A and B are shown apart, each in its own frame.
Chain A
Amino acid sequence: MLQLIPPDLRARLRDLRLVARRGGAGDGLGQHASRSRGAGLEFAQYRAYEPGDELRRIDWKLYARSDRYFVREAERDSPLTAWLIVDASASMRQADAARAGYSKLDAAKTLAACVFELALRQGDRFGLAALGGAAPVFVPAGSAARQRDRCLLELARLQAAGGWPDAAALHPLWERIRPPSVVVMLSDFFDEAAAELALRLAAARREVLSVQLLSAEERDFPFAGGHRFLDPESGAERRVEAAAVRRDYLERFAAARAELARRFGAAGILHVEHVLDRPLDEPLRALFGGAGVESKRSA
């Protein structure tokens, strides 16, 4: 099994929570944010005790029987469903020269694995949609460790190739992603269609979180001399004197990013930029950390 999440990152995931910002998750007794693990809730599973679990959650009767610590986990009242939409078009193949083997898709895979981990820890349902390549890959929503492994397996198989799929190929997406779900989109949003999808999902009552993945070279344009730039997706090329176009590029690119952030903000999409040379928990912390979570935990 591919180790997608480095140990230090895994350690920093502890205080993150997958939270639906919108209330009214629908079915169940209450809202997702007010879930409780008190008595009377429907039993879900036993799992082995891990250091860090609260002592009061240990099932002492089971300990008396088996001489092992088990933690009793309960089904939540209103579990949320998290969908990961990973852009696997060829532009996600982009990597920095400073770290050649680490592409935007690799970062997206790790981020997705982190979100799976968060969801699994909370007992939430989660699914995966990888768009791009030959055909879109869907892993229907589910929960538990096997679902996570299934998703990780698909992620490991994923290769960045091709372009963004057309609208017809996206139909299953609309069928599977039910309205109250949380959708995390991992893409560079260089494709207008990707941004369109995010906006339409947000407009259709899905809670959309987006992480725009950029390479450091795209952010800084550290080139000099004559360059022939190749678009991995369309194959178009542009021959330019890099130092001369840098300023213009930075302006236009910043403007494009600002415009994207503005549109997403207007649509209620929580939008985060992540550049490959930054730590990976930054976008996670921006999306799933935050004061609201802290206050809910203390409540």
Chain B
Amino acid sequence: MSLALLAPLGLAALAALALPLLIHLVRRLELQTTPFAALRWISERVRPQRRLRFERLWLLLLRLVLLAALALLLARPVWNGDAQPARSWGVVAPGVALGDARAAVGAGEAEWHWLAPGFPRTDEAPPSSTVAVASLLRELDAELPSAAKLAVVVPEQLGGLDGERPRLSRAVDWRSVPARAPEAASWSNAAPIRLAVRYAPESADSLRYLRAAVAAWNQREAGRYAFDAQPAEVPLAETTTWLVWLAPPAPALTQWLDRGGTALVAGRADAGGEPLWRDASGRVLARQSSDGAGRTIALAGALTPADLPPLLDADFPDRLRAAFAGAPPAPDRAPAAVAAPRVDERIAASAAQSPANARPLDAWLAWLIAGLFLLERIVAMRIGGPAAEGPRARAAKDAGGTRAQESPT
């Protein structure tokens, strides 16, 4: 239950308070006129002093309040902790049938939404199935008022998770239903891969390492990898997936890269790009860079054990495949029962102050400002009438009226 400012820097606009102060500040000689018969005994040595004072104090106060309200509006005040009518939410992960979800949660006065970016309502079309479930859960948890209840319906096999169980600020009604979720695409699809090698005659010795690597790949996924080693002049087959170029640069290589292919090129000591492989002393052995649409893996030396010691390591096939295919994605699938969110006290404490619980006061403030402005205008106009001749004249008139006796003659 407190007032908070979302943009406290807006209060810098309070500096504008100086404006009305300056406007209303008058430095004036304030003389009271007094008839005084014993004038000759007053010495004239001390001249009257000018005095600082504010005139039309009420109008000044109104204007100050108006400006302060404007500055407050700029600072975007919110009212924290006022319990909003908390509606319970039900979210359904894509891939779960709505009927199943409603049946799992039970009585449905809750608002039903898809667990998808933007949290569309369930009367809209189901979103695409690949969602980062853990991230969305955290987002939803942060956005909902802390009093709102949350029910989540997920398929038994849940994807889109990350390294730990989601930690949320509230206890979640976590239901899993058997789903007809489509099997998420694995990083290693079964499409056959053709590794083409084009070599100059002096590089023929390197072929056996590559052949061994492909054989190692095929040991794990039998028959998926094809090995196509030809002299450099032989054109590339259409089905080529990856290319190893063990020859001086040639138009065929450039074309291949332009078409968006990935090539491992030997003997490129001058190549740029980010380091891919290093030896034990930290020397860069291979770099990868993007040439146009294609990707180049440039070896500093030849594809020989002398220039490339890892060639003899047992994990060279894996490293080679990772270099071509990129690292496998982190595992993000788990049974839903295991991935049930936990309640974290720290997050709960910070969520209590999150803007999701805060009610913006902008509208109220805007009404207040409008009212103040109106009042200010009224006061300015009303005073403006009699004050047109100036408050000084009025003061003098008052003083004259009370102090001087008018003679009828």
**A240 near B: Cβ within 8 Å?**
yes
Are the CB atoms of A228 and B41 closer together than 8 Å?
A: no
With both beta carbons as reference points, the residue of chain B lying nearest to A219 in the complex is identified as B38
Are the CB atoms of B32 and A103 closer together than 8 Å?
A: no
Q: Which residues of A contact B32 (CB under 8 A)?
A: 223, 225-228
**A168 near B: Cβ within 8 Å?**
no
Are the CB atoms of A159 and B35 closer together than 8 Å?
A: no
With both beta carbons as reference points, the residue of chain B lying nearest to A254 in the complex is identified as B41
**A49 near B: Cβ within 8 Å?**
no
Q: Tell me, in angstroms, the Cα distance from A215 to B34 when the chains sit together.
A: 13
Q: Tell me, in angstroms, the Cα distance from A103 to B35 when the chains sit together.
A: 12
Total inter-chain residue pairs, C-beta < 8 Å: 110
Are the CB atoms of B43 and A218 closer together than 8 Å?
A: no
**B39 near A: Cβ within 8 Å?**
yes
Q: Which residues of B contact A256 (CB under 8 A)?
A: 41
Q: Which residues of A contact B35 (CB under 8 A)?
A: 93-94, 229-232
Interface size on A, residues (CB 8 A): 42
| Other-chain residue from A100, A103, A160, A238 in contact with B39 (beta carbon distance below 8 A) | A238
With both beta carbons as reference points, the residue of chain A lying nearest to B403 in the complex is identified as A97
| Other-chain residue from B38, B45, B402, B405 in contact with A93 (beta carbon distance below 8 A) | B405
Q: Which residues of B contact A225 (CB under 8 A)?
A: 30, 32, 48, 51
Are the CB atoms of B34 and A227 closer together than 8 Å?
A: yes
A residues 257-281 touching B (CB-CB < 8 Å): none
B residues 20-64 touching A (CB-CB < 8 Å): 29-49, 51
CB distance from B30 to the nearest CB of A (A): 5
Are the CB atoms of B37 and A238 closer together than 8 Å?
A: no
**B407 near A: Cβ within 8 Å?**
yes
Q: Tell me, in angstroms, the Cα distance from A109 to B264 when the chains sit together.
A: 128
Are the CB atoms of A95 and B405 closer together than 8 Å?
A: yes
Are the CB atoms of B43 and A226 closer together than 8 Å?
A: no
Q: Tell me, in angstroms, the Cα distance from A94 to B34 when the chains sit together.
A: 10
Are the CB atoms of B48 and A100 closer together than 8 Å?
A: no
Q: Tell me, in angstroms, the Cα distance from A233 to B40 when the chains sit together.
A: 12
With both beta carbons as reference points, the residue of chain A lying nearest to B50 in the complex is identified as A226
CB distance from B378 to the nearest CB of A (A): 33
With both beta carbons as reference points, the residue of chain A lying nearest to B28 in the complex is identified as A226
Are the CB atoms of A229 and B34 closer together than 8 Å?
A: yes
CB distance from A157 to the nearest CB of B (A): 11
**B409 near A: Cβ within 8 Å?**
yes
Q: Which residues of B contact A226 (CB under 8 A)?
A: 29-32, 48-49, 51
Are the CB atoms of B34 and A231 closer together than 8 Å?
A: no
| Other-chain residue from B30, B44, B407, B408 in contact with A238 (beta carbon distance below 8 A) | B44
A residues 185-207 touching B (CB-CB < 8 Å): 188, 190
Are the CB atoms of A230 and B31 closer together than 8 Å?
A: no
Q: Tell me, in angstroms, the Cα distance from A238 to B407 when the chains sit together.
A: 22
**A245 near B: Cβ within 8 Å?**
yes
Q: Which residues of B contact A239 (CB under 8 A)?
A: 31, 44, 47-48
Q: Tell me, in angstroms, the Cα distance from A253 to B39 when the chains sit together.
A: 10
With both beta carbons as reference points, the residue of chain B lying nearest to A89 in the complex is identified as B37
CB distance from A190 to the nearest CB of B (A): 6
| Other-chain residue from B38, B43, B402, B408 in contact with A190 (beta carbon distance below 8 A) | B38
Are the CB atoms of B42 and A218 closer together than 8 Å?
A: no
Q: Which residues of B contact A229 (CB under 8 A)?
A: 34-36, 39, 42
Q: Tell me, in angstroms, the Cα distance from A248 to B38 when the chains sit together.
A: 13
A residues 93-133 touching B (CB-CB < 8 Å): 93-95, 97, 100-101, 103
CB distance from B110 to the nearest CB of A (A): 74
Q: Which residues of B contact A93 (CB under 8 A)?
A: 35, 37, 405, 407
Q: Which residues of B contact A90 (CB under 8 A)?
A: 37
Q: Tell me, in angstroms, the Cα distance from A94 to B407 when the chains sit together.
A: 12
Q: Tell me, in angstroms, the Cα distance from A234 to B38 when the chains sit together.
A: 11
CB distance from B230 to the nearest CB of A (A): 110
**A154 near B: Cβ within 8 Å?**
no
Given A93-B405, A159-B407, verify A244-B46 contact (CB < 8 Å): yes
CB distance from A95 to the nearest CB of B (A): 6
Are the CB atoms of B37 and A218 closer together than 8 Å?
A: yes
**A81 near B: Cβ within 8 Å?**
no
Q: Tell me, in angstroms, the Cα distance from A94 to B51 when the chains sit together.
A: 28
Q: Which residues of B contact A190 (CB under 8 A)?
A: 37-38, 40
With both beta carbons as reference points, the residue of chain A lying nearest to B29 in the complex is identified as A226
Are the CB atoms of A232 and B49 closer together than 8 Å?
A: no
A residues 129-169 touching B (CB-CB < 8 Å): 159-161
CB distance from B44 to the nearest CB of A (A): 6
With both beta carbons as reference points, the residue of chain B lying nearest to A251 in the complex is identified as B41
B residues 242-271 touching A (CB-CB < 8 Å): none
| Other-chain residue from B37, B47, B402 in contact with A97 (beta carbon distance below 8 A) | B402
Q: Tell me, in angstroms, the Cα distance from A35 to B47 when the chains sit together.
A: 61
CB distance from A100 to the nearest CB of B (A): 7
With both beta carbons as reference points, the residue of chain A lying nearest to B396 in the complex is identified as A228
CB distance from B311 to the nearest CB of A (A): 102
Given A93-B407, A97-B402, A103-B405, verify A230-B42 contact (CB < 8 Å): no
| Other-chain residue from A94, A215, A245 in contact with B42 (beta carbon distance below 8 A) | A245
**A252 near B: Cβ within 8 Å?**
yes
CB distance from B43 to the nearest CB of A (A): 5
**A181 near B: Cβ within 8 Å?**
no
Q: What are 20 contact pairs spanning A and B, CB under 8 A?
A: A91-B37, A93-B407, A94-B35, A100-B403, A159-B408, A161-B409, A190-B38, A218-B38, A227-B34, A228-B32, A228-B33, A229-B34, A229-B35, A231-B39, A233-B37, A236-B39, A239-B48, A240-B48, A241-B49, A256-B41
A residues whose Cβ falls under 8 Å from a Cβ of B: 90-95, 97, 100-101, 103, 159-161, 188, 190, 214-215, 217-218, 223, 225-234, 236, 238-241, 244-245, 248-249, 252-253, 256
With contacts A94-B37, A231-B36 known, what are 10 further pairs, Cβ within 8 A?
A93-B407, A218-B38, A223-B34, A229-B36, A230-B39, A234-B39, A239-B47, A239-B48, A249-B42, A252-B41
B residues whose Cβ falls under 8 Å from a Cβ of A: 29-49, 51, 402-403, 405, 407-409
